[in-house]
Structures are given as C-alpha cells and as structure tokens.
Structure 1
Amino acid sequence: MARAGSAVPEEPAPPRRRRKQHSRRQEVLDTAARMFFERGYEATTTQDIGAALGLLKGSVYYYISSKQDLLFELIQQYHEDTRSYFAEILESDGSAVDKLRELITVDTAHTARNLERSTLFYLEWRSLPLERQAVIIEERAQHEHAVQKWIVEAQAAGRIRPEVDPKIASFAIFGMVNSVYRWFTPGGRKSAEEIGEDFADLVLGGLLVPGA
C-alpha cells in the first residue's frame, strides 16, 4: 500500500487497450494524411480531421499534440520506410552501379506507391519550423551523398563517363525521381515498379561508358 501523500504509479494500459489506442491513433494519422493531400496542410484544421473521424475537436488532442506534430510524424513515417531500404542498399555487396540502379528503382517506386505521404514530404515540409526542416534536409543529403559517392566509384572503375559531374548528376537524378508524385496515377499503364526500372535505365543510359 502506498503511504499517504506518496505518488501512486499509474497502472499501464492492458495490451488490448494499448492496441486499440495505437490503431485509433494510426487512423488519425491516415485521415490527416488524406486531408492534407486533398486540401493542403494550411487549409486543413484539427477540427476538420476530428469531424472526418467523428471526434470532437478536443478528443483529437487525446491522440496528437498539434497539427504540426501530425505533419512531422507523417513525414517521419515516410522517412522510416526510406531508411530501411536505403540501409539495405548501402550494406549490399553490389557494385556502385548496381547500388545506383537499385536506389533509383526503389526510390521511384516508393514515391509512386505512397502518393499521399510523398506529396506531403515534397510539398508541405516547409510548413515545419526550421529545426524540423533540418531533419528532413539531413535525410535527403544522405541519399545525395551516397549517389555522388557511387558515381565517383563507378568512374574510378571505368564504368561511368569521367566528364560527369557527380553532384550535378545526383541533383538531376533526384529531380527526376522526386517528380513522380506530381503525375503518377495508380492503375495506369505502368506500375510504380516499372516506372522505377524505366527511370534507372534512362539515368544509367546517360551515365555509363558504352559497353562498360
């Protein structure tokens, strides 16, 4: 028994209740992603999100701290996916050209398969404060530096043309990959994976030494 005046530790929620809370919170995130995608971040309020879920405005704050936190968490979820496949590519035994091809293919497909979150990532991230923008910029920089490193390695191996500027090439590659969210249509003529493969073929066709 706790002594008078001492704090009584709060009992942890039962596993079933925790799962229900987690599921409901993910529903809030998914609804916010859809509404930010359809209406834009600035035009969507927490009250709008709550209404779409059948919640009172005050009830939404049981699951989130602020609209800004919602946006940041959605972008972070998108990042978590990219971190997993990026790490696998970095650690693979493939050549620099193989890694470059894999990253272009997978990055393009991931952008196309996750249109709501990729649109938020590329369009709405500037709505975040500078310290949170810095997290996103650092993530992007890691991908750019890896591509530049692989191009330099492939040039040293005689596979990519020596006159190619690695930094400019990396900007061109990600400009291409990052454009997919603007025009990709699910169920269209080509799948996300096929477009990723096409992009990789186009990029490497312009970079590789003929016959290398």
Structure 2
Amino acid sequence: MTASARKTRRSKTEPSSARADANERWEQITRVATDLFRRKGFSSTSMQDISDAVGLLKGSLYYYIDSKEDLLFEILRDLHKDGERIIAQVEFDSGDPLHQLRTYLKRAAVFGALNADRLGIFLRDFHYVPAERQSEIISERRMYQKTVVALVTEAKELGLTNPNLDVSLAATLISGAVAGVHEWLHPDGPRPLDQAAEDIAEILTNSVRVPVELTAKPAAKKGRPRAKVSSRARRAPA
C-alpha cells in the first residue's frame, strides 16, 4: 500500500484530532526527507537517517511510508501537483496569449526559486523512482511544455509572432530556460525575487514576440540655420 493510500485509509477511520496529528507528522517527514535528499543525495540517505531526524523509531516510520522510494515518489509528485496550480491559473483563448505567457513564466520562475530543493532532487534522483510509477510524474511534467506550446501557438495564429516561428522549438527553449532558474535564482538574492522573475518572463516572452518595425523617420537635427548664399557670391572669384 502506498503512502497516499495509507493516508486515505487513516482519514476515513481516525478522529479528526488524530488525522491532524498524522498530517502534521507527514509534513514533517517529507520536509526532513527533502532536506536530507538534497544535502546527502537519495542513495546516501537511509531510512534510519530520516527516522532519527524526524524523531521517530525506524519501525514507526513505516506507518507512514512503505519504502524510501515511496517517499521520494510522494515528494516529487507533490512538487508537480503544486506546479499544476500555476497552470490552472492560465487563461487559454483569452485573446492575449503573450500576456498569459508572460504571467505564467513569471509564476513559474518564482515557483522554481522557492522550490529549488525539490526541483534539484527531481533532476538528480528521479531515476530512483520505480519505473512503473515514473510515468505519472512524467505526464504531469509534460503539462508545462504543453502550456507554453498552446500559448505560443495561439500567439502565432493571431499574428503576434514571426509567421515562420517554429513553435515546438521555441516552446522547448522557453520551457528549458524557466526550468533551470532554480539553479541560480534565489529568494534572498541581490534583487527582489518578484522583480527578477518579471524580467525573466519579459525576456522569454519577447523572444517570440514579433518585432516592432521602426518606420518613423528620424527627426532632423536641431542647430543654427545655414545662411543663404546668393548665386552671385558662389560665382565670385577667390
């Protein structure tokens, strides 16, 4: 039985106070495990390490999870469930897809900075998740790419991008760029996180926006008016 299944069973049979305590303990377990996986790596972290850090007997830890791999799966699935909430806020077919893209990318950048630990674990240790359970997380992660594809496609159809834009390539580049911000964008960095995320979103959105043509003629330079020279003066001998 998976951790989520066990939690579901408890929620139906335990008093509300017991459920609250169990949920609080579960949050503590995932928080502690996330920190250990980030610092030591999944393979170097033992169930004993986790139980010691949480303050539980090792046997009691199995009341909440079946295995270390089970815990890793729950942490990564929760990560992507949280990410889905950002996608849920996107207004597709809004008529202003580039605004929606920019807003989505800003939120995604902030999310990446605030969840750097879990994202780092995903990139480094995802292969430890049992193969039969990887597909669930992979399908959820593909939603990020599909969101960018949908918005860029709509923008192209509305003439807001270069008509020859390769949507798939553009979406891959944009998704890859925002997916990597957790490696260098930090909440306590030199610039306010919200401002930095805004700039990231602006740069990435402008990468597909059709350029504005500068058709206005340059203004004449201001200066002293030239004195008119008569034709007679121009013909005068030196």
TM-score category by the smaller chain?
0.7 to 0.9
The runs of at least 4 consecutive aligned structure 1 residues that moved more than 3 Å come to 90-94
Task: Tell me the TM-score normalised to structure 1 length.
Answer: 0.87
Q: Which amino acid aligns with 2:176?
A: G
- Aligned partner of 1:154 in structure 2 is 155
Structure 1 residue 12 corresponds to structure 2 residue 28: no
Cα deviation for residue 54 of structure 1 reads 2.1
Cα deviation for residue 130 of structure 1 reads 2.2
Quick one: distance in 1 between partners of 2:127 and 2:157?
Answer: 38
Quick one: distance in 1 between partners of 2:102 and 2:86?
Answer: 13
How many residue pairs end up in the alignment?
A: 203
- Aligned partner of 1:48 in structure 2 is 49
CA contact (8 A) 2:80 2:141 kept: no
Cα deviation for residue 90 of structure 1 reads 4.0
**Residues 94 and 28 (structure 1), Cα distance of their counterparts in 2 relative to 1, 3 Å cut:** farther
Determine helix, strand or coil for the equivalent of 1:103.
helix
CA contact (8 A) 2:114 2:186 kept: no
Structure 1 residue 134 corresponds to structure 2 residue 147: no
Q: Which amino acid aligns with 1:46?
A: M
- Aligned partner of 2:221 in structure 1 is none
- Aligned partner of 2:185 in structure 1 is 184
Quick one: distance in 2 between partners of 1:152 and 1:133?
Answer: 29
Cα deviation for residue 192 of structure 1 reads 3.1
Structure 1 residue 96 corresponds to structure 2 residue 80: no
Q: Which amino acid aligns with 1:102?
A: T
Cα deviation for residue 30 of structure 1 reads 0.6
Q: Which amino acid aligns with 1:207?
A: V
CA contact (8 A) 2:87 2:147 kept: no
Cα deviation for residue 186 of structure 1 reads 3.1
Cα deviation for residue 36 of structure 1 reads 0.6
Q: Deviations over 1:11-48 (max 9, x none)?
A: 93221122111111111111001111111111111110
1:1-212 equivalent positions in 2, closer than 5 A: 12-90=13-91, 93=94, 95-211=96-212
Cα deviation for residue 68 of structure 1 reads 0.8
Quick one: distance in 1 between partners of 2:170 and 2:141?
Answer: 15
User: Which moves more between the two structures, 145-154 or 36-45?
Assistant: 145-154
Q: Deviations over 1:33-87 (max 9, x none)?
A: 1111111111111110011122222121122111111111111111121112211
Identical counterparts, % of pairs:
32
Q: Which amino acid aligns with 1:143?
A: Y
Q: Which amino acid aligns with 1:168?
A: L
CA contact (8 A) 2:112 2:181 kept: yes
Quick one: distance in 2 between partners of 1:92 and 1:157?
Answer: 11
Determine helix, strand or coil for the equivalent of 1:159.
coil
CA contact (8 A) 2:148 2:175 kept: no
Determine helix, strand or coil for the equivalent of 1:138.
helix
Q: Deviations over 1:158-184 (max 9, x none)?
A: 111122211111111121111122223
For structure 1, the 5+ residue unaligned runs are 1-9
CA contact (8 A) 1:110 1:192 kept: no
**Residues 88 and 154 (structure 1), Cα distance of their counterparts in 2 relative to 1, 3 Å cut:** same
Quick one: distance in 2 between partners of 1:87 and 1:161?
Answer: 27
**Residues 43 and 112 (structure 1), Cα distance of their counterparts in 2 relative to 1, 3 Å cut:** same
- Aligned partner of 1:7 in structure 2 is none
Quick one: distance in 2 between partners of 1:123 and 1:92?
Answer: 36
**Residues 114 and 191 (structure 1), Cα distance of their counterparts in 2 relative to 1, 3 Å cut:** farther
